[in-house]
């Protein structure tokens, strides 16, 4: 597991460094790829080191605050990956379907806004859900899982207040799932479906460019 973690860090970091060093790669497509790889490194760092510590310890103990933080990071990085993939799909869509307007639409400020929103919105939305549970009283202190995920919501005492918080968080969780996963997924499917349709409607040169780009 340590070997896998080191390979993830080294391979992703190498590609990110190549993109940063070579100015010819400072284009929206490669910038989004670098952001996606950074997201992968952070996601792995959120899981692997803690797992390694637990596997090497006789007793696997973690504080509730640390569990909440791990869950916030897990959900944030998962949702940000959907957002980054949607941004990449938008970039490819504009490049292939509106090539004359590409330089106008995909400006540096547009790319920067997409990157900030891809990480900021998931962080804010996930933090709200965890804040609801941060001061909850716990009655269960054992979790059957390899890392802290949504199971942490089953640890608190079943009271009227806890039940109302659980209902509110469940409703908010559905909102997050639709807003941060389903909508980006629909957008991704729409853009690539549109590109696929145009590829069949246009000539071989367009299909070659679409295949190479995507």
Per residue in 135-169, pLDDT (tens digit) is: 666 666 777 666 555 566 666 666 545 556 666 66
Average pLDDT, the chain: 84
Q: Is 118 inside any structural domain?
A: yes
108: pLDDT strictly greater than 70: yes
Q: Is 28 inside any structural domain?
A: no
Query: What average pLDDT does the segment 108-129 reach?
Result: 89
Closest CA to 57 of 47, 49, 66: 49
Give pTM, 2 decimals.
Answer: 0.82
Q: How confident is the model over 34-55, as pLDDT tens digits?
A: 999 999 999 999 989 988 988 8
5: pLDDT strictly greater than 70: yes
Q: Is 58 inside any structural domain?
A: no
Rounded to whole angstroms, how far apart are CA atoms 165 and 169?
6
Residue 68 near residue 138, CB atoms below 8 Å? no
pLDDT score at 64: 77
pLDDT score at 147: 55
Rounded to whole angstroms, how far apart are CA atoms 58 and 184?
42
> Domain residues for 209?
64-213
pLDDT score at 154: 65
Q: How many domains does the chain have?
A: 1
CATH of the domain at 152: 1.20.1070.10
Q: Is 131 inside any structural domain?
A: yes
Burial 70-107 (b: 16+ CB within 10 A, else e): bbbbbbbbebbbbbbbbbbbbbbbbbbeeeeeeeeebe
Q: Is 43 inside any structural domain?
A: no
pLDDT score at 130: 76
């Amino acid at each position: 597991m340590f070997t896998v973690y080191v390979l993830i860090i080294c391979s992703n970091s190498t590609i990110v460094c190549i993109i940063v060093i070579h100015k010819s790669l400072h284009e929206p497509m490669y910038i989004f790829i670098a952001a996606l790889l950074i997201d992968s490194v952070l996601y792995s760092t959120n899981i692997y080191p803690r797992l390694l510590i637990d596997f090497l310890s006789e007793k696997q103990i973690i504080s509730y605050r640390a569990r909440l933080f791990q869950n916030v990071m897990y959900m944030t990085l998962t949702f940000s990956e959907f957002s980054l993939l949607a941004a990449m799909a938008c970039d490819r869509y504009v490049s292939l379907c509106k090539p004359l307007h590409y330089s106008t639409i995909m400006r540096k400020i547009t790319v920067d806004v997409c990157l900030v929103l891809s990480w900021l919105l998931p962080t804010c939305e996930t933090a709200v859900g965890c804040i609801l549970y941060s001061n909850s009283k716990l009655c269960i202190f054992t979790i059957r899982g390899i890392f802290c995920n949504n199971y942490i919501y089953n640890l608190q005492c079943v009271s009227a207040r806890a039940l109302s918080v659980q209902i509110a968080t469940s409703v908010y969780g559905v909102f997050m799932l639709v807003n941060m996963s389903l909508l980006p997924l629909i957008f991704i499917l729409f853009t690539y479906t549109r590109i696929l349709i145009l590829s069949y409607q246009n000539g071989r040169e367009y299909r070659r460019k679409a295949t190479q780009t995507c």
